Amino acid sequence: MGSDERHETAVAACEELRRRGYDVRCFGALDEGATACWPAVGRTVGQAVASGSCATGVVFCWTGTGVSIAANKVRGVRAALCGDAATASGARRWNDANVLCASLRTTSLAVLGEMFDAWFATAASEKPEDREAIADLE
């Protein structure tokens, strides 16, 4: 979990994932003393996922766009900017997304909970055409 600012949405996201039983590692402004600029946050979370030290990532910045761009620069990362549960589910299913990106400005706690429900309940498609599309990215 990373954010470029210690915003109530990002803090609540950490608490919600811990409540759900996930082991949460914090990056950026959520980790005291760490670099909190959005490129570093996106890159650091992406590297944690790509290396296998984290199974999935969640990153925030004001719009969600910057951290998604930065995370996607890391080989093996498929970061998806999501604003609702349907988009989060589709990103997991068809894109095998492994980093959920969201906006601190527009993501309510209710929508965030719905996105987490969808993200963690949806598996990647095993259809050959979907797997081929993912393979084309690597």
Bridge partners, 57 (sequence order): 99
The residues with which 61 forms a beta bridge, in sequence order, are: 103
Enter the pTM of the model: 0.94
Q: Please report, for the domain that includes residue 17, its CATH number.
A: 3.40.1400.10
- SS3 label, residue 84: coil
Looking at residue 103, its amino acid is: S
Calculate Rg over the CA atoms of the chain.
14
By DSSP bridging, strand 99-103 and strand 79-81 are parallel
Nearest of 93, 97, 98 to residue 124 by alpha carbon: 93
* Count of structural domains within the chain: 1
What range does the domain containing 122 cover?
A: 2-135
Token representation of residue 122: 């949806």
Q: What is the full per-residue pLDDT of the chain (138 aa) written as tens digits?
A: 999 999 999 999 999 999 999 999 999 999 988 889 999 999 999 999 999 999 999 999 999 999 999 999 999 999 999 999 999 999 999 999 999 999 999 999 999 999 999 999 999 999 999 888 888 777
